[in-house]
């Protein structure tokens, strides 16, 4: 009948309309499924990439930490070297000052030593002349000894003559008394002369002995100062060499002090650069920490995105099943 036909027509129209609606819905669900699959693969790739970035950032961070440690060690080593260089500079300066003082003392003493050497040479001349004079004095003392011996002989002869005169006066009796008195005076004077000559001889012998000792001492003195010119010349040459060596030592010490000072300045510049590198390394470490944190957060976000994508895939599958159910109902 008409009502049945009308009902069938409505159902047919509804089925056709549902069929027309199902096609774009299925296409949309299929498209969404493919896009979700692509998104899932992209999210997985991004998650792996984020994990790799996090690992690389961790490696970089460890490298930066090692770099900071090396920079810190280098800074400490540089500081130690700077301290050593500073001590070398101070020691070099002190050595230069000491060498300068030694050079001044050597210059000052060189003139004094030269004057002393000249006096020593003059003393040698004086010793030589004095030795000659003492030797001549010894010769004179020997001559005096001869004169005294002659005087003693004359005194002995005079004494003998006085004795003979006394004998002759005794023979003459009273006429020879005056002559006897004169003879006695002559004998007494002869004895006094002999005594004086003997004492003078002993004194001259003592003087001669002392002169001999002085001559021997003078001879030894001449031997001791015999090579004074050569020794003086060698001493002056050695002193000049000491002065020259001291001057060279002063120059070397000054150069060492100057080089150590320049090295200390270079260490200062190096220390500043190492500090700058340490600051950069610290900044890089902070940035690496920030990148690692962000990479970890991105990895966790991508993991959540993968989970949400899988849930959307499940929803799309459910929609696809529902759409097919609509088709079967139609």
Which domain covers residue 176, as residue numbers? 2-329
> How far is residue 149 from each of residues 90, 103, 136, 187, measured CA to CA in Å?
84, 67, 20, 18
Neighbours of 213 (CB within 10 A): 11
* Residue 224 pLDDT > 70: no
Evaluate whether 278 touches 72 at the Cβ level (below 8 Å).
Answer: yes
Residues 94-128: pLDDT tens digits?
777 777 777 677 677 767 777 766 776 676 676 67
Chain-centroid distance of CA 271 in Å reads 22
* Residue 284 pLDDT > 70: yes
Number of domains in the chain: 1
Mean pLDDT on 138-143: 71
Does pTM top 0.85 for this prediction?
no
Rg (CA), the chain: 68
Residue in the structure block whose two tokens are 């003559």: 161
Distance CA 200, CA 188 (A): 18
List Cβ neighbours of 261 (8 Å cut-off, separation of 6 or more): 89
pLDDT of residue 326: 54
pLDDT of residue 190: 72
Domain with residue 244: its CATH number is 1.10.287.950
Residue in the structure block whose two tokens are 């899988």: 310
Mean pLDDT on 62-87: 70
Evaluate whether 298 touches 48 at the Cβ level (below 8 Å).
Answer: no
- List, in sequence order, the alpha helices (H) in 173-227: 177-224
* Residue 145 pLDDT > 60: yes
């Amino acid at each position: 009948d008409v009502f049945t036909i009308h009902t069938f027509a409505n159902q047919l129209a509804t089925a056709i309309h549902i069929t027309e609606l199902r096609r774009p819905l299925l296409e949309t669900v299929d498209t969404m499924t493919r896009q979700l699959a692509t998104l899932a693969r992209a999210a997985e790739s991004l998650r792996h990439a984020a994990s790799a970035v996090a690992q690389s950032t961790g490696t970089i961070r460890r490298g930066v930490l090692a770099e900071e440690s090396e920079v810190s060690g280098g800074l400490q080593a540089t500081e130690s070297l700077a301290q050593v260089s500073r001590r070398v500079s101070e020691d070099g300066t002190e050595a230069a000052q000491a060498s300068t003082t030694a050079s001044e003392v050597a210059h000052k003493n060189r003139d004094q030593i030269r004057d002393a050497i000249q006096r020593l040479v003059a003393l040698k001349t004086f010793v030589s002349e004095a030795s000659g004079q003492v030797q001549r004095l010894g010769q004179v003392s020997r001559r005096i000894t001869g004169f005294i011996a002659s005087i003693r002989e004359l005194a002995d002869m005079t004494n003998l003559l006085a004795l003979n005169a006394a004998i002759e006066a005794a023979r003459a009796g009273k006429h020879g008394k005056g002559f006897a008195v004169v003879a006695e005076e002559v004998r007494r004077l002869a004895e006094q002369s002999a005594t004086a000559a003997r004492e003078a001889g002993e004194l001259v012998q003592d003087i001669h002995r002392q002169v001999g000792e002085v001559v021997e001492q003078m001879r030894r003195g001449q031997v001791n100062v015999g090579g004074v010119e050569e020794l003086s010349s060698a001493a002056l040459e050695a002193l000049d060499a000491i002065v020259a060596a001291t001057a060279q030592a002063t120059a070397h010490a000054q150069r060492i002090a100057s080089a150590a000072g320049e090295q200390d300045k270079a260490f200062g510049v190096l220390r500043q650069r190492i500090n700058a590198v340490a600051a950069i390394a610290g900044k890089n470490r902070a940035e690496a920490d920030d990148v690692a944190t962000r990479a970890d957060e991105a990895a966790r976000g991508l993991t959540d995105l993968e989970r949400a994508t899988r849930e959307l895939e499940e929803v799309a599958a459910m929609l696809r099943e529902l759409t097919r159910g609509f088709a079967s109902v139609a």
